[in-house]
Amino acid sequence: MIAASTTTEMPDADWWRGAVIYQIYPRSYQDSNGDGVGDLKGITARLPHIAGLGADAIWISPFFPSPMKDFGYDVSNYTDVDPMFGSLSDFDALIAEAHRLQIKVMIDLVISHSSDQHAWFVESRSSRVNPKADWYVWSDAKPDGTPPNNWLSIFGGSAWAWDPTRMQYYMHNFLTSQPDMNLHNPEVQDALLDVVRFWLKRGVDGFRLDTINFYFHDRELRDNPALAPERRNASTAPAVNPYNFQEHIYDKNRPENIAFLKRFRAVLNEFPAIAAVGEVGDSQRGLEIVGEYTSGDDKMQMCYAFEFLAPDVLTPERVAEVQRGFAQAAPEGWACWAFSNHDVVRHVSRWGADVLDRDAYAKLLSAILLTQRGSICIYQGEELGLTEADIGFADLQDPYGIQFWPEFKGRDGCRTPMVWDDHATQAGFSHAEKSWLPIPVEHQLRAVNVQQGVETSVMEHYRRFLAFRRQHPAFAKGEIDFLPVEGAVLGYERRFGNETILCLFNMSGEAVTASLPEGDWQVLDGHGFDSAVDAQTINLPAWGAFFARHA
């Protein structure tokens, strides 16, 4: 286990506010042993890349023991490392190297459900009277043998699976091999909080909480009401999934979760400078729930909803709408924004299918993301401008995609391995003959070594812009005030202390002009965008941006 630091300097408890967090999908970051799957030693070896970008922290998706039915989001042991990824000592080494490079380490906690191979569930399903009989959500069938209610699984079909040993149904919001835990049981809460302490003692700096609004279910198991077609939103589940046909007020989003999140925060407060960010998966009440979970200082420091991860094309109006909606729903809260992650189509493809200059588009989107009010998550490969990979059915790994193919191709297209060297085997990801997912040729052409040192590359833009962001505290900590939308131009001011920064973005492929607000403005440079000012008129090239500070 990592030795405690001997420094007398007090850690910054507020480090997370405005932090840039780099998400690592461990299966796909770097393979160190040649089995075609990424691992912890591989991540450790590549930490200098992340430090060189200028990220403040990493978030590592699950690396715990798992049968990998959902690739780690089905945990069979919460306090160990799957041999596929290495060992606890490998994790300790990763923590030590990250901290040496001044990178915080956050890990993914999946505690709404476990694997059906977890010892807790094995015992729970063995009988109706064992000590863990009530650790998962069990219910008798209706008199006709059908499930207890109409709840649906995100992965398709009923959220209930029949167990012949107990002669009861158990609840699963996701795969049938991912039974939901019963957090109404205080013993379950205590066991999960012990898991939190285990990793905090190991040296982690925080957690990303998977499906944070799924922790509790309605004790009475009431049916969810139907959702009117005009209110259906495909941000949480794809449009072809009937999960969108219900208003999910009983199978998740329960008020009892607030008390548990306070218990969780109390554990975090036992250690210095720990932070957590929660994933709120709800297509109707996402921002409202984020507000509930981040209000005050006794629950989550940050949460994110799916507004910027949705299929809706990003427009000036959309950016302003989301930020204003968050400010209204969570006036005391703090968001953590991302445009891409391991569950959605990469944003350059999701929003830019018709864009001719993908590099310019990727740079503009990064500048918009990195100047939002809130903390920021960057997903691995985003800094290379990677597009969504086209994975054929024969190579598909994701059970979600297999279930809904071909209308929904699943999540494999955003999970393909990181590309490091266009001349190396598997683009430098692995020396295996075959990686767990194929690496597209178009990704290899965008490898790190190809972009390294090329001033006009997307990767060098990320480095440059992150350095620009660090120079101005208003970007990390400040308020945001939106200007009236002028055509394709998104405009806002970021304010912190005595600093006010004007941000203008041309969200189109054509050159446009914008008006400079009244006042004495000093044009800022160092961000990599070119624009010209003529009196009160700013000339913005296609996918261009402009920044100025109030003098």
In whole angstroms, what is the distance from residue 211 CA to residue 257 CA?
12
Amino acid identity for residue 166 in this structure: R
What is the 8-class DSSP label of residue 35?
Answer: S
The two beta strands, 206-209 and 104-109, are parallel
DSSP-derived secondary structure letter, 388? P
Measure CA of the first residue to CA of the last residue in the chain; give whole Å. 51
Sign of torsion over alpha carbons 430, 435, 437, 439: positive
- Could you give the residue numbers annotated as active site? 210, 270
Whose structure tokens read 């912190």? 496
In this structure, how many other beta carbons lie within 10 angstroms of the beta carbon of residue 107? Answer: 20
Tell me which residue has tokens 């910054």. 12
Say which residues have a Cβ less than 8 Å from residue 82's Cβ, sequence separation at least 6.
63, 64, 65, 66, 68, 72
> Alpha helices of 204-302 — where are they, by DSSP H?
257-268, 286-294
Residue 519 CB neighbours (<10 A): 11
Bridging pattern class, strands 489-496 and 532-534: unpaired
Rg (CA), the chain: 23
Q: Return the closest-CA partner of residue 281 out of 409, 110, 70, 114.
A: 110
d(CA 276, CA 274): 7
Instruction: Report d(CA 491, CA 541) in Å as an integer.
Output: 15
Is residue 484 classed exposed, middle or buried when 0-12, 13-18 and 19+ CB atoms within 10 A define those classes? Answer: exposed
The number of residues making up the chain comes to: 551
3-state secondary structure of 105: strand
Contact present, 338 and 309 (Cβ < 8 Å): yes
**Burial per residue of 384-397, b for 16 or more beta-carbon CB atoms within 10 angstroms, e otherwise:** bbbbbbebeeeebb
Rounded to an integer, what distance in angstroms lies between the CA atom of residue 62 and that of residue 370?
A: 25
Spell out where 471-519 has E strands: 479-482, 489-496, 499-506, 512-515
